[in-house]
Amino acid sequence: MAENYKRRQEEKALIERYEGIAEATDHFPYFEVEEYETIVNHYIKKSKWQQAIGACKMASEQFPFSTEVLSLKIQILTRLQKYEEALELLEQAEALQPTDAEVMSMKANVLSLSGRHDDAIALYEKSLIFSADKDDVYYNIGLTFQSTGRYEEAIKHYKLAIEENINHENALYELAYCLDVTGKLDSSLEYYQKFIDRDPFSFYAWYNIGIIYNKLGRFEEAVGAYEYATAINEKFASAHFNMGNSLMNLSRYEQALEAYKNTHKWEGPSAETYCCIGSAHEKLKQWEFAIKYYQKATKADASYDRAWYGIGYCLCQQNRHFEAVYFFSKALKYDGENGHYWLSLADAEYRSGNLMSSFEAFQAASQYDGLNPLVWLEWSYVYYDLHEYDKAFVIIKAGMDELPDNTDLLYRAAIYLISSGKYKEAFSFLENALILDFDKHTVLFEYFKKPEVQKALYKIIDQYRN
């Protein structure tokens, strides 16, 4: 069984044991510090603050001088944005352990979260003297500089972290991000190549070169780098996963599917991997297989909105629009500001005959994704399909207020006005559309099939042909 899956099963069993005892008695048997860390982090992830605090209190009673338990308390206080309380607690610990690098690092993190970035950096630098994990300290300094937009300083410290530990995956990833932001990503390949020259069998180095290539849109070379990484370390799940993403960008869906399945093999079940497998099947138009894996993703994580959306999309491709409505609504439950989800729901509602629900969904789509021309084109088309041409024009005009130079909207405005007999006004929009993008004029003939109308349009179009 994959290591990650086994770990999740062990965590589940630990939580069940802890909660079973909590319900039965106020007197807890002994738990290891590492077990308390797992228990408290489980509650933090689920925002169950009272349970997290209760477990943390019990851990403090058993391990009153533990730095790990102190870290759990600080996690809770920072997640609740109680920075002053966290700092007071850390200052007490600092008074007792003035050279403890972990206490310094925790305090620096709280200072950074509370906006005192320069104080945080100074404390991180002080902790370097005492810390055995200098790579992590440099990485945290880099993060602090990055959070304030000081990317050059961040780059410098990420490189220092990598020099301490070539396999510091987070530092390598954040370095790539900062190089991308500063426009130095292309030139950074030489920097990464040095690590491969130093250690050709460093799968992390190959993996991160793959990330750089992927960010540069050089997907073939990214795949090659990920293949090296997985050849060196077959169990490197992240490299398999990223290879799958690059292969998807190359439309090599069968190979992407294999890469995602390898991720699943070595990492164990996860909603993200199931969803990606579903997406690859979707691209191959294997709708039932895609739905099967999207369903697995929702079982792994009920709040994984992309999977709910994927099921809806696949159902629509099979003309099962009425069923799709439920799944698009589920996706919106977890991401209610996603304009793309609202647009898909609007279309499914319309095709199911639910006009009012469709219009409400289109309205929401325009609110959250008003710069997407498809929102206005599809919304207005519903009115056109109902032969309500004036209302169709009102919608497309609202879209042009958001996107004044979008030629698709201009052509569609002309179509609706011609349909309602407002020729003079229509030709004004048509003229602008022909000037901006002449080649798109063929869309007119999809709407007007009568020879006499097409002949009149040809005369106007010919004036702008050259």
Q: Please provide the size of the chain in residues.
A: 466
Distance between CA atoms of residues 202 and 360, nearest Å: 54
Task: Judge whether 365 lies within some domain.
Answer: no
| Coarse DSSP helix, strand, coil percentages of the chain, rounded to the nearest 5 percent | 80, 0, 20
pLDDT in tens, the chain (466 residues): 345 566 777 778 877 777 766 665 555 567 777 887 788 788 777 778 777 777 777 777 777 777 777 777 787 888 888 888 888 878 877 777 778 788 888 889 888 988 999 999 999 999 998 888 999 999 999 999 999 999 999 999 999 998 898 778 889 889 988 998 998 888 888 888 888 888 888 888 899 899 889 989 999 999 999 999 999 999 999 999 999 999 999 999 999 999 999 999 999 889 999 999 999 999 999 999 999 999 999 999 999 999 999 999 999 999 999 999 999 999 999 999 999 999 999 999 999 999 999 999 999 999 999 999 999 999 999 999 999 999 999 999 999 999 999 999 999 999 999 999 999 999 999 999 999 999 999 999 999 999 988 998 998 898 887 6
Take residue 420 and report the two structure tokens written for it.
């309602």
* Residue 61 confidence (pLDDT): 74
Measured CA to CA in angstroms, residue 453 lies from 90, 263, 410, 414, 449 at distances of: 79, 57, 19, 13, 7
Distance from C-alpha of 243 to C-alpha of 218, rounded to nearest angstrom? 12
Determine the pLDDT at residue 371: 97
The range of the structural domain enclosing residue 190 comes to 185-268
Q: Is 338 helix (H, G, I), strand (E, B) or coil?
A: coil
> Do the beta carbons of residue 438 and residue 462 sit within 8 Å?
no
Q: Three-state SS for 194?
A: helix
Do residues 111 and 80 lie in contact, with contact meaning Cβ atoms separated by under 8 Å? no
- For residue 384, what are its two tokens? 């056109």
Q: Is 465 exposed, middle or buried (0-12, 13-18, 19+ CB in 10 A)?
A: exposed
- 437 part of a folded domain: yes
Long-range contacts of 113-122 (CB under 8 A, 24+ apart): 113/78, 113/83, 114/83, 114/87, 117/144, 117/145, 117/147, 117/148, 120/144, 121/145
pLDDT at 28: 59
CA–CA separation, 41 and 34 (whole Å)? 11
CA 371 vs CA 308, 393, 426: distances in Å: 24, 17, 23
**Cα 364 to Cα 39, 249, 345, 412, distances in angstroms:** 40, 30, 10, 21
C-alpha span between 464 and 445 (Å, rounded): 17
Domain final residue, candidates 268, 290, 321: 268
CA distance 169 to 166: 8
Residue 414 lies in a domain: yes
Q: Of 221, 186, 233, 226, which is closest to residue 206 (Cα–Cα)?
A: 226
Give the domain-ending residue among 228, 248, 268: 268
Q: Dump pLDDT digits (tens) for 150-179.
A: 999 999 999 999 889 877 888 988 998 899
Tokens of 377: 């084109």
For the stretch 379-436, pLDDT in tens is: 999 999 999 999 999 999 999 999 999 999 999 999 999 999 999 999 999 999 999 9
What is the per-residue pLDDT for 24? 56
Q: For position 1, what pLDDT does the model report? A: 35
Q: Is residue 177 part of a domain?
A: no
Write b or e for each residue in 290-320: b if 16 or more Cβ atoms lie within 10 A of its Cβ, otherwise e: bbbbbbbbbebeeebbbbbbbbbbbbbeeeb
The confidence score (pLDDT) of residue 79 equals 81
Residue 361 class from Cβ within 10 Å (0-12 exposed, 13-18 middle, 19+ buried)? buried
Judge whether 200 lies within some domain. Answer: yes
Asked whether residue 37 is assigned to any structural domain, the reply reads no
Instruction: Tell me the Ramachandran region of residue 194: left when phi exceeds 0, alpha when psi lies from -120 to 50, beta otherwise.
Output: alpha
Give the 3-state secondary structure of residue 320. Answer: coil
Give the total number of structural domains in the chain.
2
Domain finish residue from 234, 268, 302: 268
222 in Cβ contact with 259 (< 8 Å): no
409 occurs within a structural domain? yes
CATH (domain of 209): 1.25.40.10
Residue 236 lies in a domain: yes
